[in-house]
Amino acid sequence: MKKGILHTYEKFLPLTEKTPLLSLCEGDTPLIPLGNIGRELGVELYGKFEGLNPTGSFKDRGMVLAVAKAAEEGAKAVVCASTGNTSASAAAYGALAGIPCFTLLPAGKVASGKLAQAVIHGARVVAVRGNFDEALEMARTASREKGRLAIVNSVNPYRLFGQRSAAWEICDELGSPPDWLTLPVGNAGNISAYCAGFEFYREIGRISRLPRLIGVQAEGAAPMVKGAPVDNPETVATAIRIGRPVNASLARRAVELTNGQFLSVSDEEILEAQGILASKNGIFAEPASCAPLAGLYRLKKMDKLPAVIRIVMVLTGNGLKDPDAAKGRGEALVEIDGTTEALLEVLGL
Ligand code: AN7
């Protein structure tokens, strides 16, 4: 039975007797073999479908711990800035713990499903006329100035601690780490958490090597690739529309340590990869989550994708969160009269 991150990894996490063992049964997400696409790329490909977490993204793994610790420490409220998924997750776990949640979102730049989640879970949603990086700075200052207002962005170390669990699940399921692990990079927390998770498993002897970490960004928001902050990040993948990643140095270390790399892909390539994943392999992931697949196609084109290796792609968020990104794509809708004849004509079989 699914028990959630805090129960399952009690021994590996910084819990005390006073930590409430919150759970929405997060984690334990499927590692889906992506045979149709893998064959095309000439690799053994899996998707770790984090979009099947309770709020539809990987954020739940770290949020459950961050909110539990906030509750343990007597926080009166939690706050976060977010491109959408963090706010949905903070709002849900805040609701579960009975702690009010404030979320700061870049006005007009959050996918509709994510906004709906924050609202229905009862968060106080503040739309900031500015980008994510500016909103995060505001949230950090507010939490420093107001006692007992816990910040639950990935500057909160408990977030990354909980997110390590995804690396552990992958190793447990495959019996060894993959050759490559590729994931989208925004604020650069998740790639750092995966690295720490793999390092921990190596320390305790569960694995003997680290996978190469391949972090993929959108071209219009690629500070890790450029090696410098981006002031006005822009991309269709709004989840990773981030120009000043707070975990940049940890992420750089992760890539160096694992002999990995950062690369960027265009919005066009991201949307194309999203369409391929959905139409060739039956999985609907949000645009940001498809940046890694776009990256693999690009490497393949450049003849830089080794054959036969085992690759895990982290599908960080569910496609249903951002229906607008899918609208108007694929086959056009046909509207017909309510008659069998009209239907048979459309079927044309
Ligand atoms: C689907 O929700 O930053 O590199 O505020 O939602 O750990 O930041 C989301 C990030 C990848 C990037 N994929 O992860 C937020 C937020 C999805 C995401 C990322 C995000 P990090």
Ligand 1 near 82 CB (within 6 A) = yes
Ligand 1 near 190 CB (within 6 A) = yes
pLDDT tens-digit map of 225-238? 999 999 999 999 99
Lookup: tokens for 324: 């607008």
3-state helix, strand, coil in the chain (%, to 5): 45, 15, 40
CA 300 to ligand 1 center in whole angstroms: 25
Span 50-68, average pLDDT: 98
> Could you tell me if residue 291 is left (phi over 0), alpha (psi between -120 and 50 degrees) or otherwise beta?
alpha
CA 85 to ligand 1 center in whole angstroms: 7
Residue 179's pLDDT is what?
Answer: 98
Place of tokens 């950062």: 262
d(CA 269, CA 271): 6
CA 314 to ligand 1 center in whole angstroms: 12
Helices (H), the chain: 5-8, 35-41, 59-72, 85-97, 112-120, 132-145, 157-163, 165-174, 189-203, 223-226, 248-257, 267-281, 291-301, 340-347
Range with the poorest average pLDDT among 19-33, 189-203, 216-230, 317-331: 317-331
Return the ligand 1 atom nearest residue 57 CA.
1
Span 320-326, average pLDDT: 95
Task: Give strand pairing partners of 107.
Answer: none
d(CA 152, CA 82): 10
d(CA 40, CA 280): 11
Residue 39's pLDDT is what?
Answer: 97
Average pLDDT, the chain: 97
d(CA 4, CA 23): 5
pLDDT at 193 over 90: yes
pLDDT at 287 over 90: yes
Ligand 1 near 57 CB (within 6 A) = yes
Ligand 1 near 55 CB (within 6 A) = no
pLDDT at 1 over 70: no
- Which residue of 117, 126, 152, 187 sits with most ligand 1 atoms within 8 Å of its CB, as the best mutation to test the pocket? 187
* Residues 322 and 289 sit within 8 Å (Cβ to Cβ): no
